[in-house]
């Protein structure tokens, strides 16, 4: 971008003031505030500095000088490099130097960018105006007088087009060209093939021109054939062969087609204009074609980065779960940056752990783990290709979220030179930000879920306490009252009343026992701590045991059973199914009027046994239905008549067996409720 320079010996030169010949030191930088072009100390926050970065080794001094100027002005500063036409043919060494200078600018605190444009000065000025830059710092080197006359330099164009933007020019002495390392485009093994093909195309143009001459075509058509050859060479083989083709085509046209033939002598001076136009058009076409190729390559590179970021964002938005996010993101990074990828991350403020890439060579080096920990702690890039922990074998980038640093991602590309490419680093940093936000989003969801679970647990605890406090207090009060009466007035009470008090104590104790059992069963169901001990059991035996245990509770309700004698046994946990039947029968006896019967029937289907318990009570409100099987839910007309846990426990125990339970009103003329549950024949 900047012209080559070796020694910075001239201070800032402004468009409205002469340049001082003395070196630019800290005193000069401090005195810049007194310059008429400066906006004053009171307006320092409005300053913004931009420095132009090029491949010259002394650009590092230019960056340090720009850093001092930014510090003197107390403003932020930017460092930009421009990728223009023909840069695809620059050496690897030049591109690497530009990348190193951009890295240096980042370490010095600058915001770096690589711009794309055909005209360097216009590209820089357009970007400067879009960022409200007030001063541009550019380097200038001594050049031959003929070059200054024929070609306008970038500095001259900046000074002419800058307008209200101040230009600080720091001049350096000329330096010899750096040794050019051939790129794959310029390797000798391929270079001679391209020029050999160019020679063949020139010969073809000459033959076609001769054929056109024999056919009597005008010389203008022959000229078009030679220009077409230059265009083809420029499109296929690049700028160098195109320039050679343009020059040689002019010579061939002069030698074979301009009188006197077979001589470079020109009798008619008008042909000199033709030669000049041919050469100029050839050179122009070759230059424009090379620039178009460069612009196409840059556009394709930008499109690739945009598409890669879009695919990464889309994939991260479709995945949930930290492990899946890490795996998806790491695999995507491995596609974008061919090589080895490792990802270190922490969960909920835990330690930093290797979450992806355990089998890579990067994971096998302890220094890489230290680099990842340092990056996650300091939120800075480190590792290979940097000045921090440069002995690491991978480049590590922090995963910075909105609240904390999630971890670090490490990249060891197959081509180590990619670590120097600022565009690749910027793409990697953007990917790291997207990954960090996705992981943080997932962790936030986990925190929200845990918080909601904690709230629900607290609400359930409060509901449980408020619901069972009355049910616990009532039997305890009854037991305490009856026992107190027996203890204090036993001798005065008749035997019949003493028996009634004893029966009352027994009933209340049994009621309290069932309540505590329900609470314990509910707790075990929620914790998944009820193991099933299935055995083939005849259902009629289970029903007989339950009816004997509930003789006292069912004394006011005759039980009508309808159990076929040929029912097959079913694989059940006898204790749990007994508890289901006890809860259902006790529920029916509690809500049905005294003296009304309770019907218990069993039917067999192809896949399960169906057990029904029906009563003649008020039935189930249509608005509640299956909600009766939820915890602490009671029928509206029977509020505070129980804890609302019995049916919830029934549902949990039946579902443990793979069955279903449902409630409905009787379909016949009589009112009442019907509870039906199924028990599959086969163990799931």
Which one, of 166, 124, 164, 170, lies nearest residue 11 by Cα?
A: 170
Residue 448 CA: distances (Å) to CA of 318, 399, 440, 444: 19, 21, 12, 6
Whole-angstrom Cα distance, residue 3 to residue 139?
A: 7
Percentage with pLDDT > 90 across the chain? 9
Other CB atoms within 10 Å distance of the CB of residue 292: 14
CATH of 26-172, one of 3.40.50.620, 3.40.50.300, 3.30.930.10, 3.40.50.12280: 3.40.50.620
Is the pLDDT at 240 greater than 60? The verdict is yes
Residue-range domain boundaries for the chain: 26-172, 188-296, 321-449, 532-680
Mean pLDDT for 343-368 is 85
* Direct distance between the N- and C-terminal alpha carbons of the chain, in angstroms, rounded to an integer: 74
Give the E-state strand segments of 521-568 in sequence order: 535-537, 559-562
Is the pLDDT at 470 greater than 60? The verdict is no
Other CB atoms within 10 Å distance of the CB of residue 215: 8
Least confident of 326-330, 499-503, 611-615, 633-637: 633-637
Least confident of 131-140, 334-343, 438-447: 438-447
Whole-angstrom Cα distance, residue 445 to residue 319?
A: 13
pLDDT at 624: 61
Mean pLDDT for 526-555 is 83
Tens-place pLDDT, residues 154-163 = 888 888 888 8
Helices 574-591 and 539-549 pack at an angle, to 10 degrees, of: 50
Percentage with pLDDT > 70 across the chain? 76
Whole-angstrom Cα distance, residue 122 to residue 132?
A: 15
Q: Which residue has the tokens 């408020």?
A: 466
pLDDT at 610: 93
- Mean pLDDT computed over every residue of the chain: 76
Is the domain spanning 321-449 CATH 3.30.450.40? The answer is yes
Residue 112 CA: distances (Å) to CA of 100, 138, 152, 665: 12, 15, 26, 76
Highest mean pLDDT among 68-82, 274-288, 522-536: 68-82
Q: Could you please state the CATH topology (level 3) that the domain comprising 532-680 is classified under.
A: Heat Shock Protein 90 (3.30.565)
Question: What's the 3-state SS for 189-210?
Answer: HHHHHHHHHHHHHHHHHHHHHH
pLDDT at 675: 92
């Amino acid at each position: 971008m900047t012209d080559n320079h070796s020694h910075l010996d001239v201070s800032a030169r402004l468009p409205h003031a002469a340049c001082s010949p003395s070196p630019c030191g800290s005193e000069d930088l401090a005195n810049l505030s007194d310059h008429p072009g400066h906006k004053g100390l009171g307006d320092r926050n409005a300053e913004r500095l931009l420095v132009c970065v090029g491949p010259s080794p002394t650009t590092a001094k230019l960056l340090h000088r720009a850093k001092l100027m930014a510090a003197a002005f107390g403003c932020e500063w930017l460092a930009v490099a421009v990728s223009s036409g023909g840069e695809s043919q620059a050496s690897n060494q030049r591109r690497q130097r530009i990348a190193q200078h951009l890295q240096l600018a980042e370490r010095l605190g600058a915001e770096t960018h690589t711009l794309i444009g055909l005209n360097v000065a216009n590209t820089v000025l357009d970007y400067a105006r879009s960022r409200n830059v007030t001063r541009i710092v550019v380097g200038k080197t001594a050049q031959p007088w003929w070059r200054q006359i024929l070609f306008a330099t970038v500095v001259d164009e900046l000074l002419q087009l800058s307008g209200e933007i101040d230009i600080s020019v720091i001049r350096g002495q000329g330096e010899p060209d750096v040794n050019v390392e051939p790129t794959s485009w310029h390797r000798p093994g391929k270079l001679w093939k391209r020029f050999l093909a160019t020679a063949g195309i020139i010969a073809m143009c000459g033959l076609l021109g001769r054929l056109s001459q024999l056919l009597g075509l005008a010389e203008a058509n022959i000229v078009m054939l030679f220009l077409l050859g230059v265009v083809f060479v420029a499109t296929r083989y690049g700028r160098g062969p195109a320039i050679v083709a343009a020059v040689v085509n002019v010579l061939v046209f002069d030698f074979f087609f301009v009188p006197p033939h077979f001589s470079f002598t020109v009798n008619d001076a008008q042909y000199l204009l033709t030669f000049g136009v041919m050469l100029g058009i050839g050179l122009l076409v070759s230059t424009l074609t090379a620039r178009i190729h460069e612009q196409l390559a840059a556009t394709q590179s930008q499109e690739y980065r945009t598409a890669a970021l879009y695919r990464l964002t889309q994939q991260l938005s479709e995945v949930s779960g930290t492990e899946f996010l890490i795996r998806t993101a790491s695999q995507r990074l491995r596609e974008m940056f061919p090589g080895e990828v490792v990802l270190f991350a922490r969960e909920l403020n835990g330690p930093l752990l290797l979450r992806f890439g355990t089998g890579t060579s990067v994971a096998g080096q302890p220094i890489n783990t230290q680099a990842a920990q340092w990056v996650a702690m300091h939120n800075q890039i480190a590792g290979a290709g940097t000045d921090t922990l440069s002995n690491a074998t991978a480049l590590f980038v922090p995963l910075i979220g909105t609240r904390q640093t999630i971890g670090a991602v490490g990249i060891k590309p197959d081509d180590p030179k990619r670590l120097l490419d600022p565009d690749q680093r910027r793409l990697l940093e953007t990917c790291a930000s997207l990954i960090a936000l996705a992981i943080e989003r997932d962790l936030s969801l986990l925190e929200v879920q845990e918080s909601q679970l904690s709230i629900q647990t607290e609400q359930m605890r409060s509901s449980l306490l408020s619901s069972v406090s009355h049910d616990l207090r009532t039997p305890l009060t009854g037991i305490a009252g009856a026992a107190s009466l027996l203890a204090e007035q036993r001798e005065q009470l008749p035997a019949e009343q003493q028996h009634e008090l004893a029966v009352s104590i027994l009933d209340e104790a049994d009621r309290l026992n069932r309540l505590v059992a329900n609470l314990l069963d509910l707790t075990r169901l929620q914790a998944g701590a009820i193991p099933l001990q299935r055995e083939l059991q005849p259902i009629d035996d289970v029903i007989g045991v339950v009816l004997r245990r509930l003789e006292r509770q069912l004394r006011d309700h005759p039980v009508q059973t309808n159990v076929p004698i040929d029912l097959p046994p079913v694989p059940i946990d006898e204790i749990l199914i007994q508890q289901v039947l006890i809860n259902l029968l006790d529920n029916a006896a509690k809500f049905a009027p005294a003296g009304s019967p309770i019907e218990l029937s069993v039917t067999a289907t192809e896949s399960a046994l169906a057990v029904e318990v029906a009563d003649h009570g008020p039935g189930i409100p249509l608005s509640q239905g299956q909600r009766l099987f939820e915890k602490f839910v009671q029928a509206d007309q029977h509020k505070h008549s129980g804890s609302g846990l019995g049916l919830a426990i029934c549902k949990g125990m039946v579902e443990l067996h793979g069955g279903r339970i449902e409630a409905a009103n009787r379909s016949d003329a009589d009112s009442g409720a019907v509870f039906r549950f199924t028990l599959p024949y086969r163990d799931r």
